[in-house]
């Protein structure tokens, strides 16, 4: 099956060629030049910006703080809370982008949906952004509309509802704000004594502040995966499954490929295709699932590159960011060359500082088939992911050992 989309963007110029739209990209600041606005400018946004710029796309970076990673490479940037719908609209109307690309959860999705109706192209779609940036939307879509198996869950808007939800789901259970990322606001209730603490963690860690939470039944699983799924002009493609390790809900390590039985991988691909088809649009989706024996349980989906997918910067010829750029622009993805077993490890820094330095890079990068990215985030307050280490080897275990060895050589001074 192939997909054909004709965008109604303000300044898009394209020519019909056979059964497809032939992309035309002009030069910077010229009438047929193309522009993308990134709503979120973290480390993932930085890589998206770089890949778009390879095709001559002018990138405008938005984030709530100055000097965010994507701002380092963007043509222009704005410091703005994207929950401020009025200000977000002002920027979009001033910039008139061909593509609006969300990279974080904290966005006024109502404004995005209005802008899309007015002809702006939201990636992958405004509705997909709305559903996935709110755990309630995507969980109800998957479990209640698509009939996909998930963990048992209840939503709660007040502390009384929360306590009732914990009582119904049972202990142990996982608590998350319905809007958060990178583990913020997430906790596990292991005993009745954890209930108060978990409620306060969720209220303090939500992207949009205090609000509704999801209480999930604890799922026993053998392993969890991210199945990166690309919806593009030629159809849907799947990357090799990615295994990962999290701490307090935050990605610490990932590796590719995660060993899976062929029949289990096929089940996972069917779930991923069903969810992403329901969301629609073009781009890369990070579909998270639990695997227990031969059973696959849907967890979450991100309609954009995924943090665990940073491993693809060394494992493939086209990283998840390059694939996202191609899919967004309507360019073909005839194949995806996998270079071999690979691993990534996040460097998470603890402290309170506006002056962070890295050393030991020479020793770390003297290990063959390795790479790293320092994100360039301007400060740390508490704990923050500041860099990622990458390695490729003859096996996943060997690649994971390489990134651990690299980490032992890196010194971060706060």
385 is catalytic: yes
pLDDT in tens, 63-76: 999 999 999 999 99
In this predicted structure, the answer to whether residue 4 has a pLDDT above a threshold of 70 is no
Q: Which of 129, 151, 181, 344 is catalytic?
A: 181
Q: Which of 111, 308, 342, 344 is catalytic?
A: 308
- Residue 11: what pLDDT? 30
- Residue 68: what pLDDT? 97
15 is catalytic: no
Instruction: In whole angstroms, give the CA distance from residue 150 to residue 137.
Output: 14
- Residue 182: what pLDDT? 58
The answer to whether the pTM exceeds 0.85 is yes
For the segment 85-100, the average pLDDT, to the nearest whole number, is 97
* Burial of 413 per CB tally in 10 Å (0-12, 13-18, 19+): exposed
308 is catalytic: yes
- Residue 186: what pLDDT? 86
299 is catalytic: no
* Two tokens, residue 159: 């502390």
Rg (CA), the chain: 21
For the segment 17-26, the average pLDDT, to the nearest whole number, is 64
For the segment 158-167, the average pLDDT, to the nearest whole number, is 94
pLDDT in tens, 176-213: 888 766 567 888 999 999 999 999 998 876 555 557 89
Strands (E), 190-241: 213-217, 223-232, 235-238
In this predicted structure, the answer to whether residue 16 has a pLDDT above a threshold of 60 is no
195-199, 323-327, 388-392: which has the minimum mean pLDDT? Answer: 195-199
For the segment 5-14, the average pLDDT, to the nearest whole number, is 31
| Longest pairwise C-alpha distance within the chain | 65
pLDDT band at 3 (very low <50, low <70, confident <90, very high): very low
- Residue 246: what pLDDT? 85
Instruction: In whole angstroms, give the CA distance from residue 345 to residue 249.
Output: 15
In this predicted structure, the answer to whether residue 298 has a pLDDT above a threshold of 90 is yes
Q: Which of 288, 319, 342, 392 is catalytic?
A: 288
* Dihedral pair phi/psi, residue 182, rounded to 5°: 55, 30
Instruction: In whole angstroms, give the CA distance from residue 13 to residue 36.
Output: 14
- Residue 79: closest CA among 58, 53, 60, 57: 60
Q: Which of 282, 385, 392, 400 is catalytic?
A: 385
Q: What share of the chain is helix, strand, coil (3-state, %, to 5)?
A: 30, 30, 35
Torsion of CA 308, 313, 314, 320, to 10 degrees: 70
In this predicted structure, the answer to whether residue 385 has a pLDDT above a threshold of 90 is yes
- Residue 202: closest CA among 167, 161, 171, 169: 161
- Residue 105: what pLDDT? 78
* Paired sense of beta strands 58-63 and 35-39, if any: parallel
408 is catalytic: no
In this predicted structure, the answer to whether residue 237 has a pLDDT above a threshold of 50 is yes
- Residue 21: what pLDDT? 60
Instruction: In whole angstroms, give the CA distance from residue 354 to residue 77.
Output: 20
Q: Which of 85, 137, 183, 234 is catalytic?
A: 183
């Amino acid at each position: 099956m192939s997909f054909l989309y004709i965008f109604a963007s303000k300044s898009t110029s394209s020519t019909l060629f056979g059964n497809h739209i032939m992309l035309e990209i002009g030069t910077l600041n010229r009438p047929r030049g193309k522009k993308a606005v990134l709503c979120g400018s973290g480390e993932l946004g930085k890589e998206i910006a770089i890949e778009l710029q390879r095709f001559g796309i002018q990138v405008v970076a938005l984030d709530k703080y100055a000097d965010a990673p994507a701002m380092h490479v963007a043509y222009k940037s704005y410091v703005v809370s994207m929950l401020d719908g009025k200000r977000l609209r002002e920027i979009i109307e001033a910039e008139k982008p061909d593509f609006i690309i969300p990279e974080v959860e904290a966005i006024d999705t109502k404004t995005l949906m209005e802008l899309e109706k007015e002809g702006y192209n939201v990636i992958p779609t405004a509705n997909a952004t709305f559903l996935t940036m709110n755990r309630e939307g995507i969980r109800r879509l998957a479990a209640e509309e698509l009939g996909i198996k998930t963990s048992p869950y209840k939503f709660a808007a007040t502390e009384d509802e929360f306590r009732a939800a914990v009582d119904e789901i049972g202990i142990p259970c996982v608590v998350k704000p319905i809007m958060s990322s990178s583990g913020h606001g997430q906790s596990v209730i292991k005993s009745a004594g954890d209930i108060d603490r978990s409620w306060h963690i969720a209220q303090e860690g939500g992207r949009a502040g205090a609000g509704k939470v999801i209480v999930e039944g604890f799922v026993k699983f053998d392993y969890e995966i991210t199945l990166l799924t690309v919806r593009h002009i030629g159809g849907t493609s799947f990357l090799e499954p990615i295994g990962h390790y999290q701490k307090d809900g935050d990605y610490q390590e990932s590796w590719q490929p995660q060993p899976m039985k062929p029949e289990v991988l096929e089940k996972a691909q069917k779930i991923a295709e069903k969810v992403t088809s329901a969301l629609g649009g073009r781009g890369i989706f990070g579909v998270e699932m639990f695997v227990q024996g031969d059973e696959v349980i849907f967890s979450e989906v991100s309609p954009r590159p995924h943090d665990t997918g940073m491993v693809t910067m060394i494992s493939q010829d086209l990283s998840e960011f390059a694939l996202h750029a191609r899919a967004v622009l309507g360019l073909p993805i005839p194949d995806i060359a996998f270079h071999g077993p690979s691993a990534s490890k996040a460097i998470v820094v603890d402290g309170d500082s506006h002056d962070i330095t890295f050393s030991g890079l020479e020793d770390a990068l003297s290990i063959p088939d390795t790479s790293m990215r320092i994100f360039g985030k301007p400060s740390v307050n508490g704990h923050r992911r500041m860099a990622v280490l990458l390695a490729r080897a003859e096996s996943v275990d060997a690649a994971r050992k390489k990134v651990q060895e690299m980490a032992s050589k890196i010194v971060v001074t706060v």
